[in-house]
Amino acid sequence: MLTCPRTPESFEQRFERRALEVTGVRLAPGWLQRASACFPSVMRECSVASREELEALLLGDRAGATRLVERLVGEVTVKETRLFRDAPQMRLLRRVVLPEAREVGERRGTPVRLWSAGCATGEEAYSLAMLAAEEFSHSGAGAFTVVGTDISASAVAHARRGVYRHRSAALGVEEEFEPLVDRYTRTDADGATIIEPELRSQVRFAVHNLIAGPRMSGQDVVLCRNVLVYLPREAQATLVSRLWDSLHPGGWLLTGEADLLHLVCNDFERWSHPSATLYRKPLDAGTGREGGGLRG
Ligand SMILES: C[S@@+](CC[C@H](N)C(=O)[O-])C[C@H]1O[C@@H](n2cnc3c(N)ncnc32)[C@H](O)[C@@H]1O
């Protein structure tokens, strides 16, 4: 019987599989063309002379290959974000979550830890920091920490600068949050929104892969918004399990409206408000994941 010879897989197909394994991200059509723009700089950094050598490096298991895969995936992820995106949830953060977290931190006697996981260019982490700066204004220095992380090195570099030239950064901020934007940012002559240095110094940013990077722990509030929606079900389950482990019992998880956390995990308590849903790790949960609940 004749068998058709199989066409060898292209670099594009093999890299897509590698990206899925390493980052959980299913690359969208056209990613290769967009990623190619950074190939020359990556080749210089890795002292690689040809495109073929770069492709072999990306698909091989040499030290540093994983980092390189994360780097390229980070170039092509969707990074849409803005200050105080999702006002109803930001209101709940201000009125319910942060006051409660402050009391917990005071009882515990250690800083309240706030994490924007998948922060893109940083607007979400700065929104969180503005709300925390207000809530903790009488608590003294060091009462809270804010960390913003993303897989994209270029987005994290942008976040660290805290300068937003695109109009969308502060576009559509609801009236309730405008005084905070006025207090903690300024607008330069070209119309860019610039985060004030003091607030900027209160937020630490890091490049971090949520699926396979170092595990976070001891968080009181995690915002992981509009990240799950881009991942296939298996990677969603991995991510939610890691977020669970990162939280203190009683800690809060805020996801985006389209993230559909309940499809992969029912262990969190759901706090449903008319305008938004919050998730909370039960107070009687251990600090580590104790099996069960995760699906997919
Ligand atoms: C649409 S943005 C969301 C930004 C912000 N959280 C918001 O809701 O406004 C999604 C971000 O998730 C990041 N991301 C996707 N997969 C990731 C992974 N495996 N590890 C870390 N970040 C990831 C992307 O780089 C992107 O910046």
Compute, in angstroms, the gap from residue 110 CA to the centroid of ligand 1: 28
Average the pLDDT over 255-265 and give the result. 91
Compute, in angstroms, the gap from residue 228 CA to the centroid of ligand 1: 8
Q: Are 94 and 131 in contact (CB under 8 A)?
A: yes
Q: Are 45 and 259 in contact (CB under 8 A)?
A: no
Confidence band, pLDDT 50/70/90 cuts, at residue 159: very high
Which of 22, 77, 85, 154 most suits a substitution to test ligand 1, by most atoms within 8 Å of the C-beta?
Answer: 77
Average the pLDDT over 170-184 and give the result. 92
Compute, in angstroms, the gap from residue 210 CA to the centroid of ligand 1: 9
Confidence band, pLDDT 50/70/90 cuts, at residue 294: very low
Per-residue pLDDT tens digits for 18-41: 999 999 999 999 999 999 888 999
Could you tell me the CA-to-CA distances from 259 to 52, 255, 263, 265 in Å, in that order? Answer: 38, 6, 9, 12
Q: State the burial class of residue 145 (Cβ atoms within 10 Å of its Cβ: 0-12, 13-18, 19+).
A: middle
The neighbour count for residue 246, using CB atoms within 10 Å, is 22
pLDDT at 268 over 80: yes
d(CA 201, CA 243): 25
Per-residue pLDDT tens digits for 118-147: 999 999 999 999 999 999 999 988 999 999
Location of structure tokens 């770069």:
54
> If you average pLDDT over every residue of the chain, what do you get?
91
Location of structure tokens 């809270």:
144
Per-residue pLDDT tens digits for 192-231: 999 999 999 999 999 999 999 999 999 999 999 999 999 9
Confidence band, pLDDT 50/70/90 cuts, at residue 293: very low
Which of 93, 227, 243 most suits a substitution to test ligand 1, by most atoms within 8 Å of the C-beta?
Answer: 227
Q: Name the CATH topology of 87-280.
A: Rossmann fold (3.40.50)
Supply the residue whose CA is at minimum distance from atom 17 of ligand 1. Answer: 151
Per-residue pLDDT tens digits for 94-106: 999 999 999 999 9
pLDDT at 116 over 70: yes
Confidence band, pLDDT 50/70/90 cuts, at residue 282: very high
pLDDT at 75 over 70: yes
At 66, list the tokens: 């994983």
Hey, what amino acid is at 24?
Answer: G
pLDDT of residue 53: 93
- Residues ≥6 apart with Cβ < 8 Å to 295: 237, 263, 264, 265, 266
Average the pLDDT over 269-276 and give the result. 90
Q: Where are the domains of the chain?
A: 11-76, 87-280
- Residues ≥6 apart with Cβ < 8 Å to 287: 217, 245, 248, 249
pLDDT of residue 295: 34
- Residues ≥6 apart with Cβ < 8 Å to 261: 228, 240, 253, 255, 268, 279
pLDDT of residue 154: 95
* Residues, the chain: 296
Supply the residue whose CA is at minimum distance from atom 16 of ligand 1. Answer: 25
Residues with CB under 6 A from ligand 1: 23-25, 74, 77-81, 85, 118-120, 124, 150-152, 155, 209-211, 225-227, 230, 256
d(CA 28, CA 78): 10
Average the pLDDT over 240-250 and give the result. 97
Location of structure tokens 């005071």:
106
